Amino acid sequence: MNYAIILVSGGMDSCVTVASAINKGYTPAFLHVNYRQRTEKRELESFNDIADHYDIEQRLVVDISHLSDIGGSCLTDNQIEVPKANLESAEIPISYVPFRNANILSAATSWAEILNASAIYVGAVEEDSSGYPDCRRSFFDAFEEVIDNGTKPDTIIKIITPLISLSKKEIIEKGLSLNVPFHLTWSC
């Protein structure tokens, strides 16, 4: 089997990413991460609904709640108010969870080595990143180098970001063309 680890939050972008990986012929292995984010329970519910829809056998839910213990983000600290999004700002927003995607990719890489997966699919969107440094393609390229240097010599894992340069409209159109079950998703 040609496995791909797919990061599935339960939102629209990750669901379209699932359909993209399946469309490319990968056998999906779903990875979901809980880090005590405000929307943890609802995201997990959608993750399971999407996994059931696609009849996914390989599912892993990982707890990296140390990100909440570290704090610094309105997504994990109830003492920090969630502001309205300002997509025009060049500042890193208070919703940024410090180095979250590196933590998630580390878990995904470990599992990918065990399954002999050749890819990790991530539904990151640069338009969405709003200044998140770990949502840029350059970050994923650098992390691929970390994977190359930190895994067994015969391990080859690519990080695939099929939505990275798309607008929300284009993501929806792509999802519709792939018959994505949008009704099962939930985006915070």
pLDDT top residue among 130 and 155: 155
- Tell me if 179 sits within 8 A of 19, measured CB to CB: yes
Helix 137-150, helix 100-115: angle, nearest 10:
50
Residue 188: its pLDDT value, please? 66
Interacting residues of 108 by C-beta distance below 8 A, sequence separation 6+? 5, 7, 31, 120
pLDDT top residue among 95 and 141: 141
Residue 56's pLDDT band (cuts 50, 70, 90)? very high
76-126: per-residue pLDDT in tens? Answer: 767 778 888 776 777 887 777 778 899 999 999 999 999 999 999 999 998
Residue 129 has pLDDT above 60, yes or no: no
**pTM flag (> 0.85):** yes
Alpha-helix residue ranges (DSSP H) falling in the chain: 12-23, 40-53, 66-70, 100-115, 137-150, 168-177
DSSP 32: E
Residue 61: its pLDDT value, please? 98
Q: Which whole number is the average pLDDT over 18-25?
A: 98
Residue 62: its pLDDT value, please? 97
Residue 130 has pLDDT above 70, yes or no: no
